[in-house]
Amino acid sequence: MTVLQACQTAGLRLTGTRPPTVFSTNDRFSAELADLATETAIGIATAHDWQVLTKKHTIPGDGVTTSFALPSDYDRMPIKSNVYSTRSLIAFLPVKDLDQWLEFEVQPVVGSPGYWIILGGRFQVLPVMGSSEIAKFYYVSNEIITNGTANKTEFSADADVFKLSERLLTLGIIWRWRAQKRLEFAEDLANYQTALNEEIGRDKGSRIISVGRARVPFGAEMAYPGIITP
């Protein structure tokens, strides 16, 4: 479904009209739908770490560099995200705050396996990654729209397609338009939120329930990634 089709469905439910276009027109109602389409799409994309928007990024070390450019479509790290490298079985540790990072920069020693931070729009790590070392992490892309040949961050043409649920896009446009017009929108917002939660649940996939004795807690790391011998 294109953004035009989503806006047409929303328009039909809102005013009983289906605009023939929403981007190449001076019609106010169509322009309002087009504007709300991008706002709604961004709201949906940021509500969850969607699998279709999640990508893996690789950073090769060179023995000198500690600051690296982020991917051009970088939006954010997933809520649960770790940075791993070939240096250690243990993930790099995120710094607690800027003071800790400043301490690492001025101190001659940084503990193993290393620390990372996103600062100044760049991925930064200490200590320096060796020339044979590779770091990897997942991130969420901001390219939430496609036109068939290229990915985009916002709608600009009737044929653009949202990478996530088109039904959510339609429902979001409806409640936002009514809210913008100071009309009653509580039921429309509830319908949207219900649909959003359903999509998030489907995107997470099945959960495995383990029966029996307790396992290692989720997210736990080994205290020492190796074997200690006398």
Q: Alpha carbon of 86 to those of 27, 123, 228: distances in Å?
A: 57, 17, 21
What pLDDT is stored for residue 220 in this prediction? 54
User: 38 and 10, same structural domain?
Assistant: yes
| Spatial contact of 88 and 225, defined as CB atoms under 8 Å apart | yes
User: 125 and 83, same structural domain?
Assistant: yes
User: 136 and 86, same structural domain?
Assistant: yes
Residues of the chain with pLDDT under 70: 108, 205-230
Domain assignment of residue 107, yes or no = yes
| 63: alpha, beta or left? (left if phi > 0; alpha if psi -120 to 50) | left
User: 44 and 76, same structural domain?
Assistant: no
Domain assignment of residue 153, yes or no = no
The range of the structural domain enclosing residue 25 comes to 3-49+164-202
Say what the pTM is: 0.83
What pLDDT is stored for residue 218 in this prediction? 47
What pLDDT is stored for residue 90 in this prediction? 86
Kind of pairing, strands 145-146 and 84-85?
A: unpaired
Structural domain ending residue among the three candidates 92, 110, 141: 141
Number of structural domains in the chain: 2
Q: Alpha carbon of 65 to those of 122, 156, 201, 211: distances in Å?
A: 12, 38, 40, 47
What pLDDT is stored for residue 53 in this prediction? 97
What pLDDT is stored for residue 227 in this prediction? 39
User: 124 and 192, same structural domain?
Assistant: no
